[in-house]
Amino acid sequence: MTASRTASPTASRTASPTASGTASPAASRYDTALGWGWGRGRPLASSTRLVLYALVLLVFCGPLLAVLTGAFDRTPDPSQMSLLPRRLTLDNFEIAGERGLWTYLRNSLLITGSALLLQVSVTVFAAYALARHRFRGQALALMVILATMMLPEEVIAIPLSLVLGDLPGLGVSLRGTLLGMVLPMGGWGFSIFVLSEFMKEIPLELEEAARVDGAGELRIFGQIILPLCKPGLGVVVIFGFNMIWDQYLLPLIVATSPDQYPLTVGLQLMRSVPEVGIGALLAGALVALVPSVLVYLAFQRTFLSGLTTGAVKG
């Protein structure tokens, strides 16, 4: 009895750090990827981490900050960077507008909206056929779709220009037309591959139950498959929008006059004019940046859930 009473305080004191969840100094040292802890008495580790965070923010946010401040600054200096414009003004947007900025923006929105609608429509039907059906030559079709992702735009630029200038069998030229800019971007192998892999994860039991209830192919596709593919569609829309919005070579091939240029080509054209200052170019760059940010914010939840779907099981 005496031995047990004497040993119990010692045992409790010995076990208390473990029971309370307090980590040992050796364990806390490796709590982070770099082996630095946040605990007190580690000023060097905390200071180093803050410096690293500051450098990361500077690298990623520095160009964005330069564009934002320079677009609203009367005399922006590209060699200096400030948090706020020294002389706030909207003259840069007015100068850029006189050089056709708003025309380029309208063309970009029209091209991107039309091409994205066509691309998403082609993607959902192609992905549904590849993921939910079995047919002869399916592997070959998927291989051809993936092969298109491995061809740089510069490789197909000349053949594409010849085809758009004289459509085989029709003898019609699509140069200088909206259709000529939209059709080449109607199908994208990346979007088809991503969405088809997403559709493969949908249980077949749902489709079989719908067929037992008398549902047809279109009803299964529209009321069962598509609603379950919202996260995947978010990924497809965001990546597809950025791909179409950033197009530069295709508009150069199709457009026949500067009035048909989108923002990507229009900004390069503005840059070649000596009278256009750096402030007007930064204003145009800011205008070109806003739609991509808005699209990402609009589809942020579905985009993130689409990226993490299947990452955690259970």
Q: What is the pLDDT of residues 150-189, one digit of tens each?
A: 888 888 889 999 999 888 888 889 998 999 999 999 989 9
Confidence at residue 41, expressed as pLDDT on a 0 to 100 scale = 55
Contact predicate 210/169, CB 8 Å:
no
DSSP secondary structure of 9-35:
HHHHHHHHHHHTTPPPHHHHTTSSTTS
Domain parsing of the chain, residue ranges = 103-267+289-308
Q: Residue ranges of the chain with pLDDT lower than 70?
A: 1-41, 75-83, 304-314
Determine how many CB atoms are found less than 10 A away from the CB of residue 72: 21
Pick 103-267+289-308's CATH classification: 1.10.443.10, 3.40.50.11540, 1.10.260.40, 1.10.3720.10.
Answer: 1.10.3720.10
What would the pLDDT profile of 215-253 be if each residue is shown by its tens digit? 888 898 988 899 888 888 989 999 999 999 999 999 999
Confidence at residue 5, expressed as pLDDT on a 0 to 100 scale = 45
Confidence at residue 101, expressed as pLDDT on a 0 to 100 scale = 93
Taking each helix axis as running N to C, give the angle between helix 278-298 and helix 101-132, from 0 to 180 degrees, rounded to the nearest 10: 30
Confidence at residue 253, expressed as pLDDT on a 0 to 100 scale = 92
pTM score over 0.85? no
What would the pLDDT profile of 280-289 be if each residue is shown by its tens digit? 898 999 999 9
